[in-house]
Every structure is written in C-alpha cells, then in structure tokens.
Amino acid sequence: MSNEELHEEEELDLASLPDDELVQQMHDDLYDGLKEEIEEGTHILLERGWGPVKVMNEALVAGMTIVGIDFRDGILFVPEVLLAANAMKGGMAILRPLLAATGAPPVGTAVIGTVKGDIHDIGKNLVTMMWEGAGMEVFDLGINNPVENYLEALEKHKPDILGMSALLTTTMPYMKVVVEELDKRGIRDNYIVLVGGAPLNEEFGKAVGADAYCRDAAVAVETAKELIAARRAASVEQPIAVAA
C-alpha cells in the first residue's frame, strides 16, 4: 500500500467525533502542525454551539500549552513549533472576529521587536506566535528597531509588555538604551519589559533594567502570563489615584 493510500485510509472524519474526542484530536493535530484540520475542527465546534472563548481555551490554547511544554523540555524543536504555531494561527484567524464581537479581553497585549542593527527574527517570530497562541494580542515591529519605533508603538498600543530580541553581542546593549529612554521619560514602570535572544542571560536582563529575561518562547509565555497577572492583581489592590 502506498503512503498516500495509507494516509487516505487513516484520514479521520472530524465531524463524526463527539466533542471530547474532537478536542483531544485537535490537540494532537496542533502538535503535528496540521493547519487545515485545526481550521476544520474550529468550524465544527463553533457549529455545535461552542463559544469562541471556549474553543480558544479548550481546543487551541490547551493544545499549544502541550507544545510549549515539550519545546521547553527539548522533545519538540523549532521547525515543529513553527508548524504548530502556524496551525494555531489558522484556528485563531477564524476565532478572532468572533472574539472581538464578544468583547472578551485578550489575556494581555504586547509590543515586540528586534533591536536596532539586528535583523534576526526567527526567535522573535516564535515568541510572537506563542504569545498569540496563549491568547495575547501582539504588535510585532519586525527587525532593526531604533528606540523611536518602540516609543511610538508603546504610545499607540499601550501594551502590558514591551518585548525586545537581540541575537548579536554587538546589538544586545541597545536594550539598555531603550530602557533608559523609558526611564528618562518617566514611563518605564508603565510596562513589563521582557528581553530574549541567544547571547543574553539572566544577569544581562537585570543589567539592562528588564523585568525578566526569557530563555525561550515557552518561558516567554509563562513569564508574560505570570507578570501580567501580578500586575493586574497589584492594580486592583492599589487603585491608581485619579486627580480631583
């Protein structure tokens, strides 16, 4: 039997599965980076009356969480994670307009970009996709960003997080330039600053004044969720004073 015949024989009719098995199958399909199957599964759940938030959390985000854990543990590698993230994006593209209509707030928002002088973007793109996969709204500034680009995006999007990426030892010090500029303008504490990139480490993150260094995209997701939750909890405990 040819591979093609074998594949056809093994092809599953997603619509024939009960909800719990379909969700389990979607987790497997996400893991395998099967975008079309994820899109089909998303449509089926919506047609069965699932709300977009439930589809996002139970079918997509839960599936990506498994991918994130296995990436962190060295079971999955960059190409597989990029495929999974791409499949996730397919599902999210269907849900996004529906989520916007429900007014459900995103888990958090972030601006991210590779710093001035640096054109490496594979790791940053992975972080962006994983953040989106975790339900965050992400504004990606691309590569080679001078401080002005970050300032403009922060002003425009007012995100929870500013993320910066650098892959060169010659460009990583630029992160300090950005943080110092935020300081100078008195807006440093308005944002959670997260940094990442292969040549960085924990100590460097502290030295440039970031809130945290993220070793990889999975850590970037965990750190973002943790720090956003802490920040929201703190703002409930200490409401910001409003001028009379």
List the alpha helices (DSSP H) in the chain: 3-10, 19-31, 35-47, 52-54, 62-72, 78-102, 122-133, 147-157, 174-184, 202-207, 217-237
- Shortest Å distance, C-beta 9 to ligand B1M: 36
What's the CA gap between 207 and 203, in Å, rounded?
6
- Shortest Å distance, C-beta 224 to ligand B1M: 8
Between the alpha carbon of residue 188 and those of residues 36, 76, 169, 240, the distances in Å are: 42, 36, 24, 16
Read off φ and ψ for residue 89, nearest 5 degrees. -60, -35
- Shortest Å distance, C-beta 234 to ligand B1M: 21
- Shortest Å distance, C-beta 216 to ligand B1M: 3
- Shortest Å distance, C-beta 188 to ligand B1M: 16
Residue placing its CB nearer to ligand B1M in the complex, 84 or 214: 214
Residue placing its CB nearer to ligand B1M in the complex, 22 or 84: 84
Cα(first)–Cα(last) distance of the chain, in Å? 78
- Shortest Å distance, C-beta 90 to ligand B1M: 21
Residue 225 burial (10 A CB sphere; 0-12, 13-18, 19+):
middle
| Tokens 């190409």 found at | 79
Q: Which residues contact 15 (CB under 8 A, 6 or more apart)?
A: 44
Chain positions contacting ligand B1M, by CB under 6 A: 78, 112, 117-124, 126-127, 163, 165, 167-169, 194-199, 214, 216-217, 220
Residue placing its CB nearer to ligand B1M in the complex, 27 or 124: 124
Residue placing its CB nearer to ligand B1M in the complex, 41 or 205: 205
Residue placing its CB nearer to ligand B1M in the complex, 40 or 118: 118
Residue placing its CB nearer to ligand B1M in the complex, 51 or 146: 146
Question: What is the strand order of the sheet 161-165 is part of?
Answer: 137-140, 109-114, 161-165, 192-196, 212-214
For residue 70, give both structure tokens. Answer: 């296995």
